[in-house]
Amino acid sequence: MATPENKLAFDGGWEYDPAPESTDHINVAKRYGLFINGEFVSPENGRYFDTINPATEEKLSRVADASEADVDKAVRAAREAYRTTWGRMKAAERGKYIFRIARIMQERAREFSVIESLDGGKPIRESRDVDIPLAAAHFFYYAGWADKLEYAFPGRTAKSLGVAGQIIPWNFPLLMASWKIAPALACGNTVVLKPAETTPLTALKLAEVIADAGLPPGVVNIVTGAGKAGAAIVEHPDVDKVAFTGSTNVGRGIQKALAGSNKKYTLELGGKAANIVFADAAIDQAVEGIVNGIFFNQGHVCCAGSRLLVQESVADEVIEKLKDRMETLIVGDPLDKNTDIGAINSRMQLEKIQSYLKVGKAEGAEMHQSSCRVPKSGYWCRPTIFTGVSQSNRVVQEEIFGPVLAIQTFRRYDEALIKANNTPYGLSGGIWTDKGSKIFKMTQNIRAGVVWANTFNKFDPTSPFGGYKESGVGREGGLHGLDAYVKLGA
């Protein structure tokens, strides 16, 4: 039934029954070692840490806390594998191994989805329909490149680099692992990968897949741990390439740490994308795009549409419709198939988001949150919008990485462009209009690596992804993503 709070009444006045995905089919060990040289081994210092379910704060497993010595062991294993097996293998055979990984991931997709949602807090609908299928597709896509690299770089020969050190974030744990590992392997490199501290489980399950696929030992090594383990990878003298996805601050530190070394690097960093809605847009679709842009994956998305720029003449209408739509969003159990917004990934991240809510209000912006219930335990944040913000507000300039949208208005397209481009970031952007020429005018002038027109937050293995300006260096995905893992010779 429609109420003043719930005008869209998707639930028809009925309560949704819980519809949780089952967990009896998954297999999570009590404790995981480090995956080095084809087997799980204990960390040198014997230290482990808990990985918890952010929706319940319950412990899921314990994982090894890699030290510098462990990272060194992993790099040596990767080097040895590069030298003796992977680096010498016929490219087509290399490709077949990577195809195998894709196939096994598809077979185990349901298990991966559930573990991803348990460990990271994202709704099962997203891990099931987005993360895991895309991760498998990434391996499938790059597998086929392995023996075709000569066609990717006209006039040049592409050679592998050696050992790639890769550090990934917690927002798309398995998908980021596949973005990093698949192209590295296809180009003939071996890998040392460190998953994020709060979401190590699917990477460790991927280690099982890699072992099942029969890859030679040492080709992929997975070391769990915190920032120190990441730093050890970056600084290891026998690593030839560093690939990092994470915050701009850490990326900056990595670029500095690599100064003077000959290591190649790619950085995929923060963002503060503008989602620009023109008066002539299909408003209902644009509202869906705004919701998808900022509330997808709890807003833990570097390319999230975290700023809405809406043309003044339709601003009231869009904001009202957005608020109505926000009321329909279900925040809660990530494993429930009806859940729209899952748990915030960690207590630390929740505190960061909450501090931004305070900052936004202190800066004079008006905050609105949906009235939904949230569970008692676990980490939750209701969908939130700020109106009455100005360009210099911190909630407009800084990446919050949560379900928090800052809304500004504009009159002319050039004002929208100036506002859209006025942050240090340049990862993504969105345009909503029914006019083709306007789409091109805007998409050409937004300084960002990915621009969605009349859509948002779409990803594909064939589609290059990466930022302008302080959002990073290099591209991942597609033909252009190969470049990060080869050296080009005449």
Partner 1 sequence: MSAKNQRIAVAKTYKIYIGGKFPRTESGRYFALEDKKGNVIANVCRGSRKDFRNAVVAARKAQSGWATASAYLRGQVLYRIAEMLEGRREQFVTELVLQGATQRAAEKEIDQSIDRLIYFAGWTDKYQQIFSAVNPVSSSHFNFSVLEPTGVVSMLAPEDSSLLGLISNIAPAIAGGNSCIVLASESKPLCAISFAEVLHASDVPGGVVNILTGFRAELTEYFASHMDVNAVIYCDGGKAVARTVQVLAAENIKRVIARNRLDWDSDAENPYLIRDTQEVKTTWHPIGS
CA distance 135 to 111: 14
Based on the shown chain and the rule CB under 8 A, indicate whether residue 340 belongs to the binding site for partner 1: no
Q: Are 91 and 229 in contact (CB under 8 A)?
A: no
Based on the shown chain and the rule CB under 8 A, indicate whether residue 424 belongs to the binding site for partner 1: yes
Which of 312/460 has CB closer to partner 1? 460
Single residue of 79, 122, 307, 475 touching partner 1 by CB under 8 A: 475
Smallest separation, CB 296 to partner 1 (Å): 15
Which of 338/445 has CB closer to partner 1? 445
CA distance 174 to 168: 9
Single residue of 84, 371, 377, 462 touching partner 1 by CB under 8 A: 462
Q: Are 239 and 192 in contact (CB under 8 A)?
A: yes
Kindly identify the residues of this chain, within the stretch 272-331, that bind partner 1 according to CB under 8 A: none
Closest CA to 441 of 457, 455, 425, 429: 429
Smallest separation, CB 202 to partner 1 (Å): 21
Smallest separation, CB 370 to partner 1 (Å): 27
Which of 380/465 has CB closer to partner 1? 465
116: annotated active-site residue: no
Q: Where are the alpha helices (DSSP H) in 48-196?
A: 68-81, 91-107, 109-120, 124-126, 132-145, 173-186
Smallest separation, CB 270 to partner 1 (Å): 10
- Spell out, one character per residue from 88 to 127, where the chain touches partner 1: x when CB under 8 A holds, - when not: ----------------------------------------
Single residue of 136, 137, 181, 210 touching partner 1 by CB under 8 A: 137
Kindly identify the residues of this chain, within the stretch 202-261, that bind partner 1 according to CB under 8 A: 248, 251-253, 255-256, 258-260
CA distance 146 to 96: 9
Kindly identify the residues of this chain, within the stretch 429-458, that bind partner 1 according to CB under 8 A: 439, 443-444, 448-455, 458
CA distance 225 to 51: 11
Smallest separation, CB 153 to partner 1 (Å): 8
H/E element holding 48? Answer: strand 48-53
- Count of residues near partner 1 by CB under 8 A: 46
Closest CA to 98 of 201, 190, 210: 210
CB atoms inside a 10 Å sphere around CB 351: 12
Smallest separation, CB 11 to partner 1 (Å): 28
CA 267 to chain CA centroid, Å, is 13
Which of the residues 21, 111, 116, 268 is marked catalytic?
A: 268
Length of the chain: 490
Smallest separation, CB 275 to partner 1 (Å): 13
- Spell out, one character per residue from 152 to 171, where the chain touches partner 1: x when CB under 8 A holds, - when not: --xxx---------------
Single residue of 71, 114, 243, 267 touching partner 1 by CB under 8 A: 267
Give the bridge partners for 160, in sequence order.
486
Based on the shown chain and the rule CB under 8 A, indicate whether residue 480 belongs to the binding site for partner 1: yes
107: annotated active-site residue: no
Which of the residues 21, 187, 197, 302 is marked catalytic?
A: 302
Q: Using the Cα atoms of residue 283, residue 420, residue 429 and residue 194 in order, give the sign of their dihedral.
A: negative
| DSSP 8-state secondary structure symbol assigned to residue 330 | P
> Quick one: tokens of 179?
């973005």
DSSP for 233-301 reads: HHH-TT--EEEEES-HHHHHHHHHHTTTS--EEEEE-----EEEE-TTS-HHHHHHHHHHHHHGGGG--
Q: Where are the alpha helices (DSSP H) in 302-390?
A: 312-327, 347-362
Based on the shown chain and the rule CB under 8 A, indicate whether residue 486 belongs to the binding site for partner 1: no
Stretch binding partner 1 (CB under 8 A), from 191-199, 328-336, 370-378, 470-478: 470-478
Based on the shown chain and the rule CB under 8 A, indicate whether residue 490 belongs to the binding site for partner 1: yes
CA distance 266 to 251: 9
Chain residues that interact with partner 1, rule: CB under 8 A? 137, 154-156, 248, 251-253, 255-256, 258-260, 267, 269, 424, 439, 443-444, 448-455, 458, 460, 462-466, 468-473, 475, 478-480, 488, 490
Catalytic residues, by residue number, are 268, 302
